[in-house]
Structure 1
Amino acid sequence: MRYFVIIIGFVFFQTSQAQKLWTLEEIVTYATENNLTVLQNKINENLIANDLQYANNQWLPNVGGYIDNKFTLGTNHPAINKGYQQYSNSLGINSSITIYNGGLLDLNIEKAALNVNSSKLQTEAIINDISLMVVNYYLNIMLNRELLEIAEGNLAVSEQQLDRSQKLFNAGSIARADLVQSEATVAQEKKNVADAKIEVERSIFNLSMLLQLADYRDFDVELIQIPDNIELGLYDLNQVLQTAYAQQPAVKKAEVDLEMAEKDIEIAKTGFKPTITGSYNFGTSYADYFNKGLETDAWLSQWHDNLTNVFGISVNVPIFEKFNNKLNVEKAKIGQSLAQNSVEQQKQTIRENVQEAYFNANSSYQAYQAAKESVRSSELSADFAQKSFDAGVLNIYDLNTARNNLLIAKSQMAQAKYNFVFRMKVLDFYAGIPLTQGLR
């Protein structure tokens, strides 16, 4: 009995796991937290953060210990007037600290901080791109499911028509050819439904691959209903552009990179300034002769008596550096020009993307409105054809033609609707509106 309960519990757990439906917010969150490209960039952020810590640590002094052992073979010692052998050692600690180097340490810290910010903005840009792709794939699933509903509805109507045709044929009211045509229509509609199911599964599979899931078979998404009466939101193109310039991480990163390039110029100019370094040494020494007649104190006594404290300040003034400092400044200025051009390129890209999004949103809305009107006309035509067929004044071929036209019109309207929704999401994205807003 215990094993039976365990098996039932395991099956229930597996079923509940398989039936989990992912919301769009969950999908976007998962993608931004688990995508390998995003994770790689976050690891790179940690490396760059270490560079900032390294730059901060340069203000600290260097401290080191040393011990030196020597054995000397001398040819003559004045005290004994002959060769001698001596063992000596010294030990101590030394330290040095930069007092002034033209502001280089502060500039390196400021540049490292800017680099950290630039790396984070790079990650944000990747997350935005992935989020847009997720929304596009998600809407593609919704589209294919709506197309599946349309195909299933058309199949149900065709099956009803086949049932009616069968009864009419049995009663001798229609020819065998009309019944065969109804059967062929049902067969075609079943194929359409099967094809639509495959497209739904394919779109779910594509999204699972984008999420880099280990197994796509248990993955499914929550169904959202997008009404057919959606309207075009009002946007001021210039306002959207200003918002995009201020919020898009690609532009912000280029501006931060420009600040880094300006820091590089200041850093290069420090090469013309002097460097002042302070130093301190504390140590002692010991020596022992192996020759008779050369007496030495004990090593503990020598270490105590030979203690030394050495304080020093050194100044290094660049006089001629083979024009390296001048070339470094010129290279930094060229880098600044490249960074300034990159800012303009990013703004130009944003400008083109926003204008394209604005144009696509408006044009796709017009296409959607035209598709809705086509559906209304096709519905009237199909309804009239059905009534004419029921009255016996229209054959089955013309009825199927009217119904196929309605199916095509509904499919085109669904495609136009989801295309318009995605185009609006892109425009919302540049306007600073969350991608998941309105899709819940």
Structure 2
Amino acid sequence: MKKLLIYSVVILSFAFAKAQSQKTWTLQECVQYALDNNISIQQSELDLKAVDAEKLSALGNMLPTLSANSSLAENTGLSFNPLTNNAQTTTFLSATGRVNVGYTVFNGLRNFRNLQRAEISKIAGEYRLDKMKDDIALAVANNYLQILTNKANLETFIGQNQVTKEQVNQTQALVDAGQLPKGDLLEIKATDAAEQQQIIQAENAVTISKVSLAQLLLIKDYATFDIAADDYEVVDTGISERPISEIINSAEENRSEVKIAEQNVELAIKDLQIAKGAYYPTLSAFFGYDTRYTDATSFGQRLADPNNPTITEQIGVVQGTGQAVVSEVLNTESFVIAADPFVNQLYQNDGISYGFQLNIPIFNGFSARSNVERSKINLERSELQLKQSQLDLESTVYQAYVDVKGARKSYDAAKKSLESQELAYEYARERYNVGLTNAFDFSQSKLRYDNTKISLNQAKYDYIFRLKVLELFFGIDPKDLKL
């Protein structure tokens, strides 16, 4: 009983793992997975984080700066000792500290313009990310529909080959009965062999297209990757029936191409304003506080004997007579003064400095002027790019609109052609079955029928793809694309 339970658990585990490995992906799942994992999208998101850092830096430039510094040193050198009246080497410790506060009062509004520029750059980055998502979603939809097309072609080849195999068996029986020549059997077998080759090619096309989509999604398990095997039909939300002017207006409001170009113009305007700011003086304010400490000793003078405040000392001699010249001087002695305590020295030796600094640009080798001229040129270039983006978007939307109309006509024509070819094929098969036509004519009729079904598959999924493109231009969210 225990072994049976273990075997059951193992079997269920393998079944669950197999079910997991055989997951099929819908279009919405593929699009969402790509948006969550695509490397290009992740890079664009990192660009947005970099813009946030740029904005933080621009904001910081508008705030005061605060810095502190300190130093600690031990000094050794030769000095004179008044107690011993001898030169001696002394060592003492010293420390200094300083706090500085600075603030840019005015610099041609460049700090303010840089902050505005960072905000515009953030908006432009968000639009670029949106465009990247739209492009990735469109690429996923294109690859997804290519798999559907290849699968539909494969099913067509397999279904028609089954018919051919039935014809081989039927022709073999008629040849054996002497009702048909052996050449008809060879013709049918040749058709069967050609169709087997087409099936192999179609299977390879399905595999390659699935690998392409898996690579786009960054899925490494190519062997088990597959999409949902549903019979997708054309889902027209009615956007293609709207006036082209309405679709173009919606594209200009929702698409990122023009918005990115508009933000680039705003960035160029800010760059020009920042460059012109170099023409103006720069006024800054500063405040500093500093203090110091040393453990070096000093020397002082005091009365050697309070009862005898003065003493008589010879201060010289009279030239010629040699008579001594004496004078009374203070009876003092030198003594060592120890260093004041650390805390006391901090406020005894401190000091402050404050004021304003004005920097007036007079001549800088035409650097400011050349920067302004380059910014003007960049602004004109951005304005031209905006106009070009508007024209390109209008042209692209109009082309997408025309493509949908053309794809619909091709799809309708392919369906009608298939109906006609199917009738012709059925008629040819009936004639072949009663011996009124040979195998070559029948195979040609079957080939035309097969090609028509392939053309219908191509026209169908091309029409679906063109509809999805138009929906994106109209403003449908990539995650809401439906088949």
TM-score of the pair, normalised by structure 1: 0.89
Write out per-residue CA displacement over residues 321-351 of structure 1, whole angstroms, 9 at most, x where no aligned residue. 3332222222211111121122122223222
For 2:55, the equivalent position in structure 1 comes to 52
| Kept after mapping to 2: 8 A contact 1:30/1:211 | yes
Distance 1:109 1:74, change over 3 A: farther
Identity score, percent: 27
| Kept after mapping to 1: 8 A contact 2:297/2:339 | no
For 1:412, the equivalent position in structure 2 comes to 455
Query: Given residue 403 of structure 2, which amino acid in structure 1 is its aligned partner?
Result: N
Among 235, 246, 251, the alignment partner of 2:253 is: 246
Query: Given residue 267 of structure 1, which amino acid in structure 2 is its aligned partner?
Result: I
Write out per-residue CA displacement over residues 390-409 of structure 1, whole angstroms, 9 at most, x where no aligned residue. 33322222222211111111
For 2:205, the equivalent position in structure 1 comes to 199
Tell me the distance in 2 between the aligned counterparts of 1:190 and 1:207: 26
Q: CA deviation at 1:15?
A: 0.3
Is 1:127–2:133 an aligned residue pair?
A: yes
Q: CA deviation at 1:103?
A: 2.1
Write out per-residue CA displacement over residues 172-219 of structure 1, whole angstroms, 9 at most, x where no aligned residue. 322222233333333332332232222111211111122222221111
- Give the secondary-structure state (helix, strand or coil) at the position aligned to 1:94: strand
Write out per-residue CA displacement over residues 331-378 of structure 1, whole angstroms, 9 at most, x where no aligned residue. 211111121122122223222322222222222222222222221221
For 2:317, the equivalent position in structure 1 comes to none
For 1:115, the equivalent position in structure 2 comes to 121
Q: When the two structures are aligned, how many residues end up with a matched partner?
A: 439
- Give the secondary-structure state (helix, strand or coil) at the position aligned to 1:322: coil
Among 32, 36, 61, the alignment partner of 1:33 is: 36
Distance 1:35 1:339, change over 3 A: same
Among 416, 432, 435, the alignment partner of 1:373 is: 416
For 1:359, the equivalent position in structure 2 comes to 402
| Kept after mapping to 2: 8 A contact 1:142/1:224 | no
Distance 1:438 1:284, change over 3 A: closer
- Give the secondary-structure state (helix, strand or coil) at the position aligned to 1:319: coil
Tell me the distance in 2 between the aligned counterparts of 1:83 and 1:309: 36
Please show how residues 86-235 of structure 1 align to structure 2 within 5 Å: 89-227=95-233, 233-235=240-242
Q: CA deviation at 1:51?
A: 1.0
Distance 1:68 1:154, change over 3 A: closer
Q: CA deviation at 1:23?
A: 0.8
For 1:261, the equivalent position in structure 2 comes to 268
Tell me the distance in 2 between the aligned counterparts of 1:302 and 1:74: 24
Q: Which has the higher strand share?
A: 2
Distance 1:435 1:88, change over 3 A: closer
Please show how residues 40-79 of structure 1 align to structure 2 within 5 Å: 40-68=43-71
For 2:280, the equivalent position in structure 1 comes to 273
Q: CA deviation at 1:27?
A: 0.6
Among 10, 18, 21, the alignment partner of 1:15 is: 18
The 10-residue stretch of structure 1 (230-239 or 297-306) with the greater mean CA deviation from structure 2: 230-239
For 2:304, the equivalent position in structure 1 comes to none
Gaps of 5+ in 2: 301-335
Query: Given residue 249 of structure 1, which amino acid in structure 2 is its aligned partner?
Result: S
Tell me the distance in 2 between the aligned counterparts of 1:37 and 1:45: 13
- Give the secondary-structure state (helix, strand or coil) at the position aligned to 2:227: coil
Tell me the distance in 1 between the aligned counterparts of 2:481 and 2:268: 41
Tell me the distance in 1 between the aligned counterparts of 2:270 and 2:160: 67
Q: CA deviation at 1:52?
A: 0.8
For 1:316, the equivalent position in structure 2 comes to 359
Gaps of 5+ in 1: none
Query: Given residue 453 of structure 2, which amino acid in structure 1 is its aligned partner?
Result: K
Among 300, 319, 340, the alignment partner of 1:298 is: 340
| Kept after mapping to 2: 8 A contact 1:96/1:277 | yes
